[in-house]
């Protein structure tokens, strides 16, 4: 029995523009594997240059400390100022390496940032220690989806099928964080990594060797659409593909491709059920900070700026106290039966108002489930009333708040489709209270 695991980094998806990516190879050439081994050398044997001078350092922490004290460049401030997460941080580092901008310029940048292009995902320096730094260490800790291992370990009807073929598998907690129970029951595991930086960052091959799992886990580097597997079919596909608002970055497309090509009859995809929900929000303070703020900026009317601010969906953690309605599901996805075209959709919704107030925004979030053949169903939620996750919630601010009363039904319509210019991003259109607004999630 074989299982296929499609790799992702923290819910952030693969890059589609392959011409901008570093070359990938699935050849069996020993030299290429030896190069990969070299990438796993301990950090204390590697050095990386400062972003703004020629000084060399043996860790990202030392480099950033030097940048702060000697060049007045604070990476922590830069990351928080621009809300950078994994890909944004990678682009920032490569932008500085490639363009060599002065510190004064970097500190003066406001949105839009100049490193948005996908070309900045390609490493400028080989084995750049700064690209191996986990930018999320700069943020406060959040929940990670340990529902994945429990999704299998708590369901013996699924586990026993894998366990029957898995006498040799050992604990693999260090090899794939949080996946110990899954890997104890898997004969073979395939790992897709789309960019060189993802592969380098995780150092996954060294963790496999450390846990003596070379005969259990096989890594195949490349896009699932391009690599060739050594088997025709697999029995289980597991992937942590979710993006903001579930569908951002279009990684589910690759999972569905793998399902259609490699999943054996009767096989399973996990998570198998996913839902997207909306909820109404009332937060006049945040609305004032982001929208009405522009009506009077130090005595100047800059309300024209609202046209640029409102269409941008905001990814943030909501205070549960600001929720003023029950949630309403707007999309249900069964990964066993859905197809790529189903991922663009329109849905009418009705929100039951629970608190008389001013509605300032709608917020979206997703839940995922392990259900097929599972006697103990497992759910992982990114909702505002659940444990905080790095997916947070996606907030759609309204230009003009309107009054709602407890007990009434707030009806609307939402349309979600991919941006034709950038299929990784989403365009969301909301019709609510007799007005329509289009938002971008990018």
Q: Which residues are catalytic?
A: 240, 249
Instruction: Name residue, tokens 């999943």.
Output: 263
The DSSP code for 295 is G
Strand partners, 346: 415
Structure-token pair, residue 207? 């963790």
DSSP assignments along 315-340, one per residue: EEPPPGGGB-B--EEEEEEETTT--G
Q: Are 208 and 214 in contact (CB under 8 A)?
A: yes
In whole angstroms, what is the distance from residue 144 CA to residue 151 CA?
Answer: 14
Count how many Cα atoms sit within 13 Å of the Cα of residue 232 in the half-sphere of its side chain.
2
Token digits of residue 70: 């000697």
In 3-state terms, the chain is what percent helix, strand and coil (to 5)? 30, 30, 40
Residue 420: CB atoms within 10 A of its CB come to: 8
Which two tokens mark 287?
Answer: 């609305």
Distance CA 202, CA 195 (A): 12
How far is 3 from 298, CA to CA, in rounded Å? 60
Is residue 168 a contact partner of residue 161, using CB atoms and an 8 Å limit? Answer: no
Q: Which residue has the tokens 């026993």?
A: 160
Decide if 283 contacts 360 (C-beta within 8 A): yes
* CA distances to 15, 35, 49 from 46, in Å: 28, 14, 10
């Amino acid at each position: 029995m074989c299982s296929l695991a499609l790799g992702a980094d923290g819910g952030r998806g693969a890059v589609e523009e392959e011409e901008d990516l570093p070359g990938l190879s699935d050849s069996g050439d020993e030299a290429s594997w030896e190069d990969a081994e070299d990438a796993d050398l301990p950090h204390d044997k590697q050095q990386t240059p400062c972003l703004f001078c020629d000084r060399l350092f043996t860790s990202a922490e030392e480099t950033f400390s030097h940048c702060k004290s000697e060049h007045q460049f604070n990476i922590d401030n830069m990351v928080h100022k621009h809300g950078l997460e994994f890909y944004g941080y990678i682009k920032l580092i490569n932008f500085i390496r490639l363009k060599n901008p002065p510190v004064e310029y970097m500190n003066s940048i406001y949105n839009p940032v100049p490193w948005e292009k996908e070309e900045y995902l390609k490493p400028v320096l080989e084995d750049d220690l700064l690209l191996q730094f986990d930018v999320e260490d700069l943020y406060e800790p959040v929940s990670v989806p340990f529902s994945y291992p429990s999704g299998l370990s708590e369901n013996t009807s699924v586990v026993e099928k894998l366990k029957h073929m898995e006498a040799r598998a050992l604990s693999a907690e260090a090899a794939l964080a949080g996946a110990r129970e899954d890997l104890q029951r898997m004969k073979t595991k395939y790992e897709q990594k789309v960019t060189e930086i993802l592969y380098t960052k995780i150092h996954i091959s060294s963790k496999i060797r450390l846990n003596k799992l070379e005969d259990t886990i096989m890594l195949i580097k490349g896009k699932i659409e391009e690599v060739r597997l050594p088997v025709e079919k697999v029995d289980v596909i597991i992937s942590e593909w979710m993006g903001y608002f579930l569908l951002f970055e279009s990684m589910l497309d690759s999972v569905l491709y793998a399902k259609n090509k490699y999943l054996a009859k009767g096989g399973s995809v996990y998570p198998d059920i996913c839902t997207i929900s909306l909820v109404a929000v009332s937060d006049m303070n945040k609305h004032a900070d982001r929208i009405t703020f522009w009506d009077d900026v130090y005595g100047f009317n800059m309300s024209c700026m609202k046209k640029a601010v409102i269409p941008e969906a905001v990814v943030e953690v909501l205070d549960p106290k600001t929720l003023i309605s029950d949630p309403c599901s707007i999309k249900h996805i069964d990964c066993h039966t859905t197809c790529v075209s189903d991922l663009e959709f329109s849905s009418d919704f009705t929100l039951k108002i629970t608190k008389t107030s001013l509605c300032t925004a709608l917020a979206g979030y997703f839940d995922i489930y392990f259900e097929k053949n599972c006697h103990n169903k497992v759910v992982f939620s990114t909702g505002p009333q659940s444990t905080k996750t790095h997916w947070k919630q996606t907030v759609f601010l309204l230009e003009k708040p309107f009054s709602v009363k407890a007990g009434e039904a707030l009806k609307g319509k939402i349309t979600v489709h991919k941006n034709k210019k950038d299929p990784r991003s989403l365009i969301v259109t909301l019709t609510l209270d007799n007005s329509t607004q289009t938002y971008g999630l990018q």
